[in-house]
Amino acid sequence: MVIDWIDFTPLESLLGGLLVGLAAALFMIFHGRIMGVSGIFGGMLHPLKGDFFWRAAFLLGLMVAPIVAHLAGSISAPKIDGSVFQLVTAGLLVGFGTALGSGCTSGHGVCGIARLSPRSLLATVLFVTSGMVTVWAARSFGFGG
Amino acid sequence: MRRLSEFLIGLIFGLGLMISGMTNPSKVKGFLDIAGNWDPSLAFVMGGAVIVSLAAFRLAAKRRESLFGRVIMLNDTKPIDVKLIAGSVIFGIGWGLSGFCPGPAIVSLGNGEWKAAIFVAAMAGGMVLAGYVTRSSKG
């Protein structure tokens, strides 16, 4: 392991993290819900009555963020590399895995750890470890973007 | 009023993800590349986010209802099971391959990125598939 000091952005990442935490905090205080994106998004795929528009409002807020940032003139869009095949494969795995495991980086990784849930702590250790092994394998065996 | 608050919370969340670097797939892969040239930045995202939400959840745990009158549930409702373990490992593989998890992928839709749209469509497909698998294993 070598630390990549060139790309290291502790202040920006901490500030962004505080905003993510603020959003999770407000969601719980106002709405009493765990702010988990995979669950909020997944619930729209088979909507129940009266259970659609709050999800849509939240996801719309997410999508408007780059537009607000663009108007503020600060952040440029990061490049997405990887072929269509890689993105489809990864998307299927992310969708399947988060639905089966009932959560992703926000629901388990942030909210779950913050509420000291043993399930979420285990889930987070597993997906971070599995992501690390995947990145290592992708480089070692020459697949991935 | 509620729809506005959900929208604004989503907006704060999205801006946080952008500022933190989570919406940049190569930065996410840099964090996961612990065996190579490791960029530890994203540990600060989780650290910052957990500190704020931990404090708020402790306050929320003392109340029965949220400000908009919903019951607050902060405890696990399910045990640790095979689905949680297998699902999390599978999610990690997709995360490592693409550098995308669900939140940042949806934020990137707002950039008009067609590649993000492909990812999100495939993600929806994966979720539907998981629904079939869990339903058929039950019955």
Would A104 be classed as within a structural domain? yes
Would A4 be classed as within a structural domain? no
Taking an 8 Å cut-off on Cβ atoms, the answer to whether B80 and A144 are in contact is: no
Q: In Å, what is the CA distance from B33 to each residue of A128, B26, B86? A: 11, 10, 22
Question: From the CA of A48, how many Å to the nearest CA of chain B?
Answer: 15
**Phi and psi at residue A80, to the nearest 5°:** -105, 110
- Quote the pLDDT of residue B138: 65
- Quote the pLDDT of residue B139: 52
Handedness of CA A132, A133, A139, A145 (dihedral sign): negative
- Burial of A46 by CB count in 10 Å (0-12 exposed, 13-18 middle, 19+ buried)? exposed
Taking an 8 Å cut-off on Cβ atoms, the answer to whether A21 and B52 are in contact is: yes
pLDDT higher than threshold 90 for residue B72: no
For B7-16, the pLDDT digits (tens) are: 999 999 999 9
Would A47 be classed as within a structural domain? yes
pLDDT higher than threshold 80 for residue B49: yes
- Quote the pLDDT of residue A75: 63
Would A3 be classed as within a structural domain? no
- Quote the pLDDT of residue A144: 61
Taking an 8 Å cut-off on Cβ atoms, the answer to whether A96 and B11 are in contact is: no
Taking an 8 Å cut-off on Cβ atoms, the answer to whether A60 and B10 are in contact is: yes
Which tokens in the block code for residue B131?
Answer: 């629904």
Find chain B residues with C-beta within 8 A of A89's C-beta. 94, 97, 122
Number of structural domains (chain A) is 1
Q: Which residues form the domain of B119?
A: 2-138
Tens digits of pLDDT across chain A (145 residues): 789 998 899 999 999 999 999 999 999 999 999 999 999 999 999 888 888 999 999 999 999 999 999 888 866 778 888 899 999 999 999 999 999 999 999 999 999 999 999 999 999 999 999 999 999 999 998 876 5
Would A17 be classed as within a structural domain? yes
pLDDT higher than threshold 90 for residue B105: yes
Would A99 be classed as within a structural domain? yes
- Quote the pLDDT of residue B129: 97
User: Which residues does residue B37 pair with via DSSP β-bridges, in sequence order?
Assistant: A2
Q: Which of B7, B25, B60 sits opposite A80 (nearest CB)?
A: B25
For B21-45, the pLDDT digits (tens) are: 999 999 999 999 999 999 999 999 9
Q: Which residues form the domain of A118?
A: 10-141
Number of structural domains (chain B) is 1
